[in-house]
């Protein structure tokens, strides 16, 4: 696990929780994408900005991405949503939230997974977001952003949510003061965030309630309990995420937690599967995902508190293995990771962790077998394949570089906006002496990251070396002619 904007940091995000950069539209001819977000809880975004060491941006991790796909698969079927078209992205934000943006894309905060004690709690959140997608709530808000990059969405929504929260709640010392002075409001609203902020403030409470009702239907249809969704509503109420004592409910975009809970409780308990429990194997995977996030995101005190030495569970051992690797205790990390593999030889993500530890410890050639094994075991493993490509390049063996190009091209064929894949592909082409393709790949990596000026510079250099009308020339031309949309 790693973050795109923290590549130079010593502590990467989980198991190559690579900070990828999935984008929604990409180049100019890829169409129009809506970026309005519908979150399970308005006002959750700003919390992460106040937490020291909290990761930022999108993160990629094969294990957690697969878990989220498995959580949503039955829900999507019940909602009539094509699971191959819908995407789920993980955001390095420690607040408990999830939201829908850019069409059929669900964004899940790392904090939601870290704090959800059971799969059912997380599934309830995902069912709610699916309700927004199936209900067409994004389309009804009538806001579109041509060719929006996912990173642009994250930045705009974070700023807009901060504005919305400030507008609704006032300062921390004045929890219900809705009336900002005009000058302060104008200062916040200047720039492209204005329309997004207004749209967030214009959410219809009825749509939130409709999404809750849809979630209950999907859970019942799939034989899953609605306890998790109810627990999430109780969390919002008990933790006081809304300062409700002096808030005018008619100025809110979402129903107040107490109102929402009252509406949900009776219907939730009527679910025939109310007493259903998560399968033990699924709970075990959820526990591992939580441990991974805590170990990569938390400091030593938090990791030790959540997973003390007395915790001999697989999740506890996983957390301590990641902690040892992350903080440079190489011998301890190797021993702990080998212990995990001995416990579950068929767990692709334990082999991935071993490969990552070896790669980042400067032992690329030794990392390759572990990463190959992980790729062979994981059904969908773009982050692992990118790491394998990185390892192959780092061996400095010419034949390995050829394989790296094939591996990374395979990733891009399925995930064309994966900036890490482009970045390592650029390195591989450079090793081969193919400078035009190296420059083009670098341009596409920068473009996927939203660095449009730098991308155009690289694309211009590359295009001059391609024959007019060839695929490479056309790709460079797309980047050169792209202009970020103005909201």
Which residue carries 């539209």 as its tokens? 25
Please give the full DSSP string across 197-212, using - where no structure is assigned: HHHHHT--HHHHHHHH
CB 337, CB 353: distance < 8 Å: yes
The maximal CA–CA distance of the chain, rounded, in angstroms, is 67
Distant-in-sequence, close-in-space partners of 115: CB < 8 Å, separation ≥ 6: 96, 235
Please tell me the predicted confidence (pLDDT) of residue 449: 87
Residue 359's pLDDT is: 96
The overall pTM is greater than 0.75: yes
Predicted pLDDT at 445:
95
Model pLDDT, residue 153: 55
Which pLDDT score is estimated for 175?
Answer: 32
**DSSP assignment of 242-268, as one string?**
S--TT--GGG-SS--HHHHHHHHHHHH
For residue 188 the two structure tokens come to 């916040």
Neighbours of 248 (CB within 10 A): 9
CA separation for the pair 312, 314 (Å, rounded):
7
pLDDT in tens, 416-456: 878 999 999 999 999 999 999 999 999 999 998 889 999 99
At residue 138, the pLDDT reads 55
Answer left, alpha or beta for residue 136, where phi above 0 means left and psi between -120 and 50 means alpha: left
The helix (H) or strand (E) run that includes residue 64 is: helix 62-79
pLDDT under 70: residue ranges of the chain: 2-56, 102-103, 136-206, 237-260, 485-487
CA distance 270 to 272: 6
């Amino acid at each position: 696990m790693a973050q795109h904007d923290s590549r130079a940091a010593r502590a990467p995000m989980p198991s190559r929780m690579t900070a990828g950069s999935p984008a929604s539209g990409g180049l100019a001819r890829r169409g129009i994408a809506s970026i309005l977000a519908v979150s399970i809880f308005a006002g959750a975004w700003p919390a992460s900005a106040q937490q020291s060491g909290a990761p930022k941006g999108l993160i990629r991790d094969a294990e957690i991405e697969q878990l989220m796909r498995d959580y949503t698969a039955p829900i999507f079927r019940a909602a009539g949503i094509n699971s191959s078209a819908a995407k789920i992205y993980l955001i390095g934000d420690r607040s408990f939230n999830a939201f829908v943006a850019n069409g059929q894309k669900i964004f899940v905060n790392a904090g939601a997974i870290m704090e959800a004690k059971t799969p059912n709690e997380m599934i309830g959140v995902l069912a709610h977001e699916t309700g927004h997608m199936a209900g067409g709530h994004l389309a009804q808000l009538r806001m579109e952003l041509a060719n929006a990059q996912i990173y642009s969405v994250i930045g705009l929504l974070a700023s807009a949510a901060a504005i919305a929260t400030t507008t609704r709640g006032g300062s921390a010392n004045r929890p219900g003061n809705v009336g900002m002075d005009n000058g302060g409001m104008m200062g916040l609203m200047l720039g492209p965030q204005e329309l997004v902020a207004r749209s967030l403030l214009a959410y219809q409470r009825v749509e939130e309630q409709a999404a809750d009702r849809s979630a209950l239907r999907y859970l019942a249809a799939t034989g899953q309990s609605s306890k998790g969704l109810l627990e999430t509503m109780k969390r919002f109420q008990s933790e006081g995420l809304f300062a409700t004592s002096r808030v005018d409910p008619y100025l809110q975009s979402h129903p107040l937690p107490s109102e929402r809970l009252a509406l949900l409780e009776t219907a939730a308990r009527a679910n025939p599967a109310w007493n259903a429990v998560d399968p033990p194997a699924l709970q075990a995977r959820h526990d591992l995902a939580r441990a991974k996030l805590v170990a990569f995101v938390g400091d030593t005190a938090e990791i030790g508190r959540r997973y003390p030495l007395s915790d001999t569970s697989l999740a506890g051992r996983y957390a301590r293995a990641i902690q040892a690797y992350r903080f440079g205790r190489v011998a301890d990390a190797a021993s702990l990771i080998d212990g995990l593999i001995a416990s579950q030889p068929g767990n692709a993500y334990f082999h991935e962790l071993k490969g990552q530890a070896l790669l980042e410890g400067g032992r690329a050639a030794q990392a390759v077998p572990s990463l190959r094994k992980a790729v062979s075991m994981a059904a969908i493993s773009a982050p692992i394949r990118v790491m394998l490509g990185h390892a192959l390049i780092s061996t400095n063996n010419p034949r390995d570089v050829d394989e790296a190009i094939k591996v990374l091209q395979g990733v891009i064929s399925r995930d064309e906006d994966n900036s890490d894949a482009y970045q390592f592909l650029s390195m591989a082409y450079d090793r081969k002496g193919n400078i035009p393709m190296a420059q083009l790949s670098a341009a596409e990596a920068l473009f996927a990251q939203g660095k449009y000026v730098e991308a155009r510079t690289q694309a211009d250099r590359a295009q001059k070396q391609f024959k007019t009308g060839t695929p490479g020339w056309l790709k460079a031309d797309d980047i050169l002619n792209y202009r970020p949309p103005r909201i």
